[in-house]
Chain A
């Protein structure tokens, strides 16, 4: 049990996928202008990453490993994740329209999100068990969502501040992201 708590804390804070491992920069900047979109995106990532983590773990364990095809891992995962997202989109549209209305527009945007891909590859590299992979995927996604929502909050506040002209918009966002990332470095060594 204790191991899992350590794993969760490590994935959310210490090794935060965005702020410590710098994966998933595009949605991090693209969807953090408004709190509303940030929350939607965070939910979508959690949903997709858990599914992707599980499916890719199974693909590794039951197909790639037995046939000694580990060197195809990256390209195979890309295909699997992309198809998965497409599939999930269709499934939601038909079966859970309410959820689709909330997440639908974000799903195609994260088809090729590196945070999703990164977390799946980490799961394999760390040689996690199935349950560990599930928990880790979920925690990484929560970590990403946390970073995104924090960042959106900060950006909304920045709008109110007097930013020097050359630093406005994306530049100040990058600076802010850097500071946020340094703050997360404080968690290093905790686990």
Chain B
């Protein structure tokens, strides 16, 4: 008996000593929180969470791969305790949720009759499934069988529906699905997703430069779930009030209904829900990922900068916006006039972004008051340059700097500053005004001049109405408001009087010749057709480029590469990383003068790269990216099953009411019109769509 006791004591002692020595010798630093969290989990090693055992799950929590609620056995108290160790709020920690990416279901047609066993995996072995659509749901519910939590069921339309409440994000469905229709993602993953060739996307969603899930938000409007629609838009675009008003909606050009009928008025629906949120009196909550403690600086508070800041903040980074103007918004505040986008509306939208915890510093100019060096010194690890395109091109004709001559941006900005009482500099206008140019800036100048009481306002453009780059609705509105259009006219000289004040403009008449590189017919001058018109004010708005003068003045910016259009260069249009690795750009500063949606998409793209950069991942473009292209098989020539239903017209103020003031000219559609318009949507996906019922 005694020897047995001595032996066991000895054995235990030896093992103990050896192990404790080993733990010293083979010590590897491990986050102490892993052990702490492991102690809190159920210890059942059941694998229900998707990790191989509790230790692995605890390591997952600490490495950010799992949420505090990872343990499916232990329940909410444990989740709270784990969240406390991690220093995050269990509600806002990034849980993974399963998402169903296919809503084709029974709508998709079959290529062959399958009579094998009811299993997606088996069916997919046979030519990738029986459905026409190569990527869509097969409908046998392998995911439903794989889910241990009863969180997935086969919906009535033939595709799985995920119950977010029950889903723990274990990923069993993702593994079970042979078609990658079900994916488990965190909010951050969703915010960083960009369109891929393999995605289930309708043509409109492929076209939108901001990549908004258009069919999804229209479907939500149809169901009356306006909050859901706003949230869907906000996953891609934080400036929905602004876009709902000024976007020239390239998506509508690709609307499938538009092939047989008028396209769905997508942008008016966006404006409808955006206004709905604003008028409801409260903001919908926007969640942000747990803080990462990394700092990023955003230079320029235009749409690109605001979008970049919004997404970076939601990904958990600390963001500060720097802007040279007194208020944020960029061109949509200082270029686009009040009657198109009221400043109060814009401010409400910007406040929503700043409320997430985004810092901002106005009245500081990059290259003058601060630069890359000072940002680095302040602890910023990445810099986004979204400085827009604020430098007007000059006409390069004699007399363009006479008294009474303005450039487009200069005129609009001065007036906007004056109107917002940011300064008391006044703007004086003439009675007979000419505006040179055919873009949005030119149209905004003429419509502003009309509202300021100019007697005669004309547009001088060297091509024809068809070639004007301005938004079509804007051109029409300007025509209604009494603007004169002088097409096929190329200014050659500005004539001044003895006091150096402008008094006339000489131009050459043009005719259209062969198409040029942009596909538009090139205007050629008609010899001896010089004409002079009397004017007392001239605005030249023939385009603008970024003001990158700072590159010459500041030492560490000398190496920043620019293109020959003075835009900031990036090796890859999708990563938007400049040749200085911690500098990124987007919006007009990268593309040259473009659109608000384009700038918003660019801001999010840059936010993705900056996130990769800050979290020490390689900065890489999206795989199988659908950047600026379409999925060929999704573009149709005809769309059977569509009955003509007239598009909801845009309500606007009558002309005589609107030209006297700066009140908003375009109005929002009514709820019943929104319901009707959303019912015109065919809910398209890659191949399938809903036919009209009668």
Q: Which of B18, B118, B119 contacts A87 (CB 8 A)?
A: B18
B238 CB to closest chain A CB, in angstroms? 40
B286 neighbours in A (Cβ, 8 Å): none
- A95 on interface, CB distance cutoff 8 Å: yes
- Is the pair A93, B52 in contact by a Cβ cutoff of 8 Å? no
- Is the pair A108, B55 in contact by a Cβ cutoff of 8 Å? yes
- Is the pair B11, A79 in contact by a Cβ cutoff of 8 Å? yes
Bitwise, B172-214 to A at CB < 8 A (1) or not (0) is: 0000000000000000000000000000000000000000000
- Is the pair B15, A79 in contact by a Cβ cutoff of 8 Å? yes
- Is the pair B4, A69 in contact by a Cβ cutoff of 8 Å? yes
- B397 on interface, CB distance cutoff 8 Å: no
Which residues of A are at the interface with B, using a C-beta cutoff of 8 A? Answer: 30, 37, 40, 67, 69, 71-72, 75-76, 79-80, 83, 86-87, 90-91, 93-95, 105-106, 108-109, 159-162
- Is the pair B8, A76 in contact by a Cβ cutoff of 8 Å? yes
Q: Which of B1-34 contact A (CB under 8 A)?
A: 3-4, 7-8, 11-12, 15, 18-19, 22-23, 25-28
Q: Which of B15, B22, B25 contacts A80 (CB 8 A)?
A: B15
- Is the pair A160, B121 in contact by a Cβ cutoff of 8 Å? yes
A79 neighbours in B (Cβ, 8 Å): 8, 11-12, 15
- Is the pair A67, B122 in contact by a Cβ cutoff of 8 Å? no
A67 CB to closest chain B CB, in angstroms? 7
B124 CB to closest chain A CB, in angstroms? 11
B3 neighbours in A (Cβ, 8 Å): 67, 69
Closest residue of chain B to A161, judged by CB? Answer: B117
The CA-CA distance from A67 to B11 in the complex, in Å, is: 14
A76 neighbours in B (Cβ, 8 Å): 7-8, 11
B28 neighbours in A (Cβ, 8 Å): 93-94
B140 CB to closest chain A CB, in angstroms? 10
The CA-CA distance from A93 to B26 in the complex, in Å, is: 8
The CA-CA distance from A108 to B55 in the complex, in Å, is: 9
Chain A to chain B contacts (Cβ below 8 Å), 11 pairs: A37-B52, A67-B3, A76-B8, A76-B11, A79-B12, A83-B18, A83-B19, A94-B25, A95-B26, A159-B121, A160-B122
| Beyond known contacts A30-B47, A80-B15: 13 more, CB 8 A cutoff | A37-B52, A71-B4, A72-B4, A72-B7, A76-B8, A76-B11, A79-B8, A86-B19, A94-B25, A105-B56, A106-B52, A159-B145, A162-B118
A108 neighbours in B (Cβ, 8 Å): 53, 55
B18 neighbours in A (Cβ, 8 Å): 83, 87
- B45 on interface, CB distance cutoff 8 Å: yes
Closest residue of chain A to B53, judged by CB? Answer: A105
Interface residues on B, range: 20 to 34
A162 neighbours in B (Cβ, 8 Å): 117-118
B357 CB to closest chain A CB, in angstroms? 37
Q: Which of B87-123 contact A (CB under 8 A)?
A: 117-119, 121-122
A103 CB to closest chain B CB, in angstroms? 11
Closest residue of chain A to B12, judged by CB? Answer: A79
The CA-CA distance from A76 to B138 in the complex, in Å, is: 56
The CA-CA distance from A109 to B47 in the complex, in Å, is: 12
B45 neighbours in A (Cβ, 8 Å): 30, 109
The CA-CA distance from A106 to B113 in the complex, in Å, is: 45
B25 neighbours in A (Cβ, 8 Å): 94
B18 CB to closest chain A CB, in angstroms? 7
- Is the pair B8, A72 in contact by a Cβ cutoff of 8 Å? yes
B28 CB to closest chain A CB, in angstroms? 5
- Is the pair B22, A90 in contact by a Cβ cutoff of 8 Å? yes
Known: A69-B4, A80-B15, A90-B26. A160 touches B119 (CB 8 A): yes
Closest residue of chain A to B51, judged by CB? Answer: A105
A83 neighbours in B (Cβ, 8 Å): 15, 18-19
Summarize B's interface: helix, strand, loop or mixed.
helix
- Is the pair B8, A109 in contact by a Cβ cutoff of 8 Å? no
Closest residue of chain B to A40, judged by CB? Answer: B52
4 interchain residue pairs of minimum CB distance: A94-B26, A83-B15, A90-B26, A105-B52
- Is the pair A69, B7 in contact by a Cβ cutoff of 8 Å? yes
Bitwise, B116-143 to A at CB < 8 A (1) or not (0) is: 0111011000000000000000000000
Closest residue of chain A to B125, judged by CB? Answer: A160
B685 CB to closest chain A CB, in angstroms? 28
The CA-CA distance from A43 to B675 in the complex, in Å, is: 61
A109 CB to closest chain B CB, in angstroms? 6
The CA-CA distance from A154 to B72 in the complex, in Å, is: 27
A87 CB to closest chain B CB, in angstroms? 5
B346 CB to closest chain A CB, in angstroms? 52
A67 neighbours in B (Cβ, 8 Å): 3, 7
The CA-CA distance from A80 to B119 in the complex, in Å, is: 48
B117 neighbours in A (Cβ, 8 Å): 160-162
The CA-CA distance from A108 to B25 in the complex, in Å, is: 20
The CA-CA distance from A108 to B43 in the complex, in Å, is: 12
B11 neighbours in A (Cβ, 8 Å): 76, 79-80
A40 neighbours in B (Cβ, 8 Å): 52
The CA-CA distance from A86 to B15 in the complex, in Å, is: 10
Closest residue of chain B to A37, judged by CB? Answer: B52
A86 neighbours in B (Cβ, 8 Å): 19, 22
Closest residue of chain B to A84, judged by CB? Answer: B15
B119 neighbours in A (Cβ, 8 Å): 159-160
B188 CB to closest chain A CB, in angstroms? 25
- Is the pair B26, A91 in contact by a Cβ cutoff of 8 Å? yes
A135 CB to closest chain B CB, in angstroms? 27
A148 CB to closest chain B CB, in angstroms? 15
Closest residue of chain A to B59, judged by CB? Answer: A105
B336 CB to closest chain A CB, in angstroms? 55
The CA-CA distance from A80 to B12 in the complex, in Å, is: 9
B186 CB to closest chain A CB, in angstroms? 23
The CA-CA distance from A166 to B412 in the complex, in Å, is: 75
B526 CB to closest chain A CB, in angstroms? 76
B4 neighbours in A (Cβ, 8 Å): 69, 71-72
B21 CB to closest chain A CB, in angstroms? 10
The CA-CA distance from A91 to B24 in the complex, in Å, is: 11
A96 CB to closest chain B CB, in angstroms? 11
B58 CB to closest chain A CB, in angstroms? 11
Closest residue of chain B to A162, judged by CB? Answer: B117
A120 CB to closest chain B CB, in angstroms? 15
B251 CB to closest chain A CB, in angstroms? 42
The CA-CA distance from A161 to B142 in the complex, in Å, is: 11
B12 neighbours in A (Cβ, 8 Å): 79
The CA-CA distance from A105 to B118 in the complex, in Å, is: 35
The CA-CA distance from A91 to B11 in the complex, in Å, is: 20
The CA-CA distance from A81 to B153 in the complex, in Å, is: 46
B37 CB to closest chain A CB, in angstroms? 15
The CA-CA distance from A97 to B651 in the complex, in Å, is: 68
The CA-CA distance from A34 to B604 in the complex, in Å, is: 38
B220 CB to closest chain A CB, in angstroms? 35
Q: Which of B30-87 contact A (CB under 8 A)?
A: 45, 47, 52-53, 55-56
Closest residue of chain A to B4, judged by CB? Answer: A72
A160 neighbours in B (Cβ, 8 Å): 117, 119, 121-122
B412 CB to closest chain A CB, in angstroms? 60
Known: A37-B52, A108-B55, A160-B122. A91 touches B8 (CB 8 A): no
The CA-CA distance from A91 to B55 in the complex, in Å, is: 17
B44 CB to closest chain A CB, in angstroms? 11
- Is the pair B27, A94 in contact by a Cβ cutoff of 8 Å? yes
